[in-house]
Amino acid sequence: MRKVTIIGAGPGNPDLLSRAALDAIDIADVVIGAHRALVGIDVPPHVVRCELVKTADIVAALTDAASWQRAVVVMTGDVGLFSGARRLVEALSGDAQVDVRVIPGISSASYLAARLARPWQDWRFASAHGVACDIVAEAERAGELFLVTSGGEDPSRLSGELVQAGFGDACVTVAERLSYPDERITCATASEITGQTFDDLNVMLIDFAGGAASSRWPYASSGIPDELFIRGDVPMTKQEVRAVALAKLRLTATDTVWDVGAGTGSVSIEAALVARAGSVWAVERNAAGVRLIRENVDAFGCGNVHAVPGVAPDALVKLPVPDAVFVGGSAGELPSIVEAALEKNSQVRLCVPCVTVETLTEACTLLSGSRFKGFEACQVSAARAEAVGSHHLMKAQNPVFLVSARGAGGEGGAR
Q: Which is it for the CA torsion 321, 324, 326, 332, positive or negative? A: positive
pLDDT at position 47: 87
CATH 3.40.50.150 fits 226-407, yes or no: yes
Banded pLDDT at 153 (limits 50, 70, 90): low
CATH 3.40.50.11390 fits 109-207, yes or no: no
Span 92-99, average pLDDT = 83
The tens digit of pLDDT for each residue in 13-66 reads 999 999 999 999 999 999 999 998 898 898 888 888 999 999 999 998 888 766
The tens digit of pLDDT for each residue in 36-50 reads 889 889 888 888 899
d(CA 290, CA 230): 12
pLDDT at position 253: 86
Banded pLDDT at 364 (limits 50, 70, 90): very high
Region(s) of the chain under CATH 3.40.1010.10: 2-106
* Residue pair 323/279 in contact by the 8 Å Cβ criterion: no
- Mean of all residue pLDDT scores within the chain: 90
What's the pTM value of the predicted model, to 2 decimals? 0.64
Span 256-270, average pLDDT = 96
Long-range contacts of 12-17 (CB under 8 A, 24+ apart): 12/36, 12/39, 12/76, 12/177, 12/178, 12/179, 12/180, 12/201, 13/40, 13/179, 13/180, 14/39, 14/40, 14/41, 14/42, 15/179, 16/105, 16/106, 16/111, 16/179, 17/41, 17/105
Region(s) of the chain under CATH 3.40.50.150: 226-407
pLDDT at position 65: 63
Q: Over 90: is that where the pLDDT of 358 sits? A: yes
Domain 2-106 - what CATH class? Answer: alpha beta
The tens digit of pLDDT for each residue in 394-409 reads 999 899 999 999 999 8
Banded pLDDT at 410 (limits 50, 70, 90): low
pLDDT at position 30: 92
Q: Which residues in 79-113 are b (16+ Cβ under 10 Å) and which e? A: bebbbbbeebbebbeeeeeeebebbbbbbbbbbbb
pLDDT at position 248: 97
* Residue pair 98/3 in contact by the 8 Å Cβ criterion: yes
Region(s) of the chain under CATH 3.30.950.10: 109-207
The tens digit of pLDDT for each residue in 155-167 reads 999 999 888 877 8
Residues 6+ apart with CB under 8 A from 404: 248, 249, 349, 350, 351, 352, 367, 374, 375, 376, 377
- CA 333, distance to chain mean position in Å, is 31
d(CA 302, CA 304): 5
Q: Over 60: is that where the pLDDT of 414 sits? A: no
pLDDT at position 107: 95
Q: Over 50: is that where the pLDDT of 312 sits? A: yes
* Residue pair 109/127 in contact by the 8 Å Cβ criterion: no
Q: Which of 86-95, 99-108, 355-364, 373-382 has the lowest mean pLDDT?
A: 86-95
Q: Over 80: is that where the pLDDT of 250 sits? A: yes
Span 366-384, average pLDDT = 95
pLDDT at position 411: 44
